[in-house]
Amino acid sequence: MTNHPLSIFRPTTFWRITVLTAILVCGFTTRLYDLTDPPLDYASTRQLRSAIIARGIYYGASNDVPAWEKEVALKEKDRQEQLEPAIFETLVGYLYLISGKEFVWFARILSSFFWILGGLALFKLSRELSSYGGAVISLVYYLFGPFSLLASRTFQPDPLMTAAIIWTWYSFFQWSKARSGKWAWITGLVAGTAILIKSTAIFFLFFGMAAVVLSENNFRELRKDYQIWLIAALSALPTIIYYLYGYFISGIITDQFKGRLFNPELWGHLNFYKEWLGTTSDVLGHLTIFLAALVGLILVREKRSRRFLIGSWVGFTIYGFAVSYYVTTHSYYLLPAVPLAAITLGAVADWIISWLKKAKMAGLAWSGIIAILISGVALGYYIYHREDYRHEPAYYAKVASYVSPKDKIIALSQDYGFRLAYYGWINTQPWSRLDNQLYSGQAANDEGQFSRKFSSAVDGYDFFIITRMEEFRKKTELKSQLSDHYQVLVEGGGYLIYDLRERLD
Domain assignment present for residue 2? The answer is no
The pLDDT score that the predictor gives to residue 3 is 47
Domain assignment present for residue 442? The answer is yes
The pLDDT score that the predictor gives to residue 48 is 98
Assess whether 368 and 410 both reside in one domain.
no
| pLDDT at position 75 over 90 | yes
CB within 8 Å of 465: residues ≥ 6 apart: 399, 400, 403, 409, 410, 411, 412, 413, 417, 420, 428, 495, 496, 497
Assess whether 483 and 352 both reside in one domain.
no
Average pLDDT, the chain: 90
CB within 8 Å of 132: residues ≥ 6 apart: 1, 3, 4, 7, 8, 9, 16
Assess whether 310 and 228 both reside in one domain.
yes
Give the residue with greater pLDDT, 7 vs 252: 252
Lowest-confidence pick of 253-257, 302-306, 339-343, 424-428? 253-257
- Contact in structure between 208 and 308 (CB atoms under 8 Å): yes
Neighbours of 139 (CB within 10 A): 27
Lowest-confidence pick of 310-314, 334-338, 437-441? 437-441
Domain assignment present for residue 4? The answer is no
Q: In degrees rounded to 5, what are phi and psi of residue 39?
A: -75, 60
Helix-then-strand count for the chain, H and E: 24, 5
Assess whether 265 and 378 both reside in one domain.
yes
Assess whether 318 and 446 both reside in one domain.
no
Mean pLDDT along residues 96-110? 97
Domain assignment present for residue 432? The answer is yes
The pLDDT score that the predictor gives to residue 322 is 94
In 3-state terms, what secondary structure has residue 64? coil
Mean pLDDT along residues 263-267? 89
Nearest-angstrom CA–CA distance, 384 and 38: 11
In 3-state terms, what secondary structure has residue 228? helix
| pLDDT at position 184 over 50 | yes
The pLDDT score that the predictor gives to residue 351 is 86
Nearest-angstrom CA–CA distance, 344 and 321: 22
Domain boundary, last residue among 331, 365, 385: 385
Lowest-confidence pick of 204-208, 266-270, 390-394, 453-457? 453-457
Nearest-angstrom CA–CA distance, 447 and 450: 5
* Of the candidates 195, 187, 241, 193, the residue with the CA atom closest to the CA atom of residue 213: 187
Long-range pairs for 453-457 at CB < 8 Å and ≥24 separation? 454/478, 454/481, 455/503
Give me the amino acid identity at 41.
D
The pLDDT score that the predictor gives to residue 220 is 79
Assess whether 197 and 296 both reside in one domain.
yes
pLDDT in tens, 40-66: 999 999 999 999 999 999 999 999 999
Assess whether 343 and 207 both reside in one domain.
yes
Mean pLDDT along residues 350-369? 72
Give the residue with greater pLDDT, 138 vs 8: 138
| pLDDT at position 465 over 80 | yes
- Positions of E strands within 186-329: none
Domain boundary, last residue among 385, 401, 431: 385
* Of the candidates 374, 487, 369, 453, the residue with the CA atom closest to the CA atom of residue 8: 369
Assess whether 313 and 456 both reside in one domain.
no
- Contact in structure between 135 and 123 (CB atoms under 8 Å): yes
**Which residues are paired to 464 by β-bridges?**
410, 498
The pLDDT score that the predictor gives to residue 504 is 86
Assess whether 80 and 117 both reside in one domain.
no
Assess whether 81 and 146 both reside in one domain.
no
| pLDDT at position 443 over 50 | no
Nearest-angstrom CA–CA distance, 336 and 142: 10
pLDDT in tens, 202-215: 999 999 999 999 98
Domain assignment present for residue 365? The answer is yes
Neighbours of 137 (CB within 10 A): 26
Assess whether 284 and 404 both reside in one domain.
no
Assess whether 73 and 214 both reside in one domain.
no
Quote the pTM value: 0.93
The pLDDT score that the predictor gives to residue 7 is 47
Nearest-angstrom CA–CA distance, 417 and 408: 13
Distances (CA, A) of 460 to 14, 433, 454, 457, 487: 69, 16, 12, 8, 16
Domain boundary, last residue among 385, 408, 435: 385
pLDDT in tens, 116-126: 999 999 999 99
- Contact in structure between 159 and 47 (CB atoms under 8 Å): no
Domain assignment of residue 152, given as a range: 13-35+109-385
Mean pLDDT along residues 486-497? 95
Domain assignment present for residue 505? The answer is no
Mean pLDDT along residues 105-126? 98
Neighbours of 164 (CB within 10 A): 27
Domain assignment present for residue 361? The answer is yes
Domain assignment present for residue 247? The answer is yes
Number of residues in the chain = 505
| Range 423-460 burial, b when 16+ CB lie within 10 A, else e | bbbbbbbbbeebeeebeeeebeeeeeebbebbeebbee
| pLDDT at position 392 over 90 | yes
Sign of CA dihedral 39, 201, 197, 420: positive
CA atoms in the 13 A half-sphere facing the CB of 487: 8
- The total number of structural domains that make up the chain: 3
